[in-house]
Structure 1
Amino acid sequence: MGRAPAPKEQKTAATPFWRQKSLEEMNKTEWESLCDGCGRCCLVKLEDEDTGEIHFTEIACRLFDAGACRCADYANRRRRVRDCIKLTPETARGLSWLPPSCAYRLVSEGRDLYWWHPLVSGSTETVHEAGASARGKVVALETEIALNDYPHHIVKWPGKLPPRVKKPARRAKGAD
């Protein structure tokens, strides 16, 4: 949580903003564009009361649009879903359950984005083509399954990288 922002690269016109700026320095448009649309953060998570360990499920928030892999009411999500977390630079550094492919997590750790990220690939479909999204993996919305049945839907894939994916390298200071 106390991790310092990544060192800034030497700025050039060709250097993408996420390599030039810390999370705090990004404007609203840049910040929002970091979301790759994977939908993993919209999955219901369960916390083990004894260990504090977080477990992902294959159950999504009631506002999740499974086809688009996005929130169906993003502007009003926090009013409609009591435990929806607003991601900030501080929370991006402190939420241990953010998926390893999450751009907010990667940038906060001084790492680059994966090839499938829309800011890199130029397409919103590559996150799905890479198998990095929740598309086709959600079995139900939280309102469709009894709370007692949630533990039967714990899955490991949201906390892992898709198979055969090269991890993004740490950026060298001054590198493009």
Structure 2
Amino acid sequence: MTAPAKKPSAQEGLFWKTKTLEQMSGPEWESLCDGCARCCLEKLEDEDSGKIYFTHVSCRLLDAGLCGCKDYANRSDQVPDCVRLDPANVRTLNWLPPSCAYKLVAEGRDLYWWHPLISGDPNTVHEAGVSVRGRVQGTELDVNDEHLEQHIVQWPGLLPKRARLKKRPA
């Protein structure tokens, strides 16, 4: 018995379905970012297991209300350990959130309804509860590294129920 044929994606023909990550132009690549800012949260890694723990503490350059970097062009100069995503590392980084469009596209999956490229609205990432807006409890300047364990949270590694819906709720 063979598996039923996979239903064609409504996103077929769109640039993230027709190009590899490596083939995308700079603006196409940048537009894949949904603006959730989960990647801008401080993370801890268990040295024994490799497990990643998110915190609700952000990078000092994150504008937590806008969910954007205050100095995107110079972020690597100001924050030397800032990881610039590229086609190679999005396939291997184990701390990207499950909703990350770079990760989804690398895996050949569709973008969620709330992604601005699908909804046409940059606010749907907030509406769906995916962004860090209203959840950041300080920056790396406010919380010493030795206290980060006290700020571990689960939500950045999870996808909210309304974000998993097939389409925007009415």
Query: Shorter chain as normaliser: what TM range?
Result: 0.7 to 0.9
Give the corresponding residue for 1:116: 114
Counterpart Cα distance in 2 of 1:34 and 1:84:
18
Give the corresponding residue for 2:124: 126
Greater RCO, CA 8 A, separation 6+ = 1
Residues 79 and 140 of structure 1, relative CA distance in 2, 3 Å threshold: same
Identity of aligned residues (%): 59
Give the corresponding residue for 2:48: 50
Counterpart Cα distance in 2 of 1:68 and 1:164:
21
Counterpart Cα distance in 2 of 1:59 and 1:145:
7
1:1-176 equivalent positions in 2, closer than 5 A = 15-166=13-164
Residues 167 and 103 of structure 1, relative CA distance in 2, 3 Å threshold: farther
- Paired residue total: 157
What TM-score does the superposition give when structure 1 sets the normalisation length? Answer: 0.85
How many angstroms does 1:164 deviate by? Answer: 4.0
RMSD between aligned residues = 1.7
How many angstroms does 1:167 deviate by? Answer: 7.1
Q: Which runs of 4+ in 1 moved over 2 A?
A: 164-168
Unmatched segments (≥5 aa) in structure 1: 1-8, 169-176
Counterpart Cα distance in 2 of 1:110 and 1:131:
24
Unmatched segments (≥5 aa) in structure 2: 1-7
What TM-score does the superposition give when structure 2 sets the normalisation length? Answer: 0.88
- CA distances 1:112-136 after superposition (whole Å, capped 9, x unpaired): 1000000000011000000000000
Contact 2:56 2:137 in 1 (8 A): yes
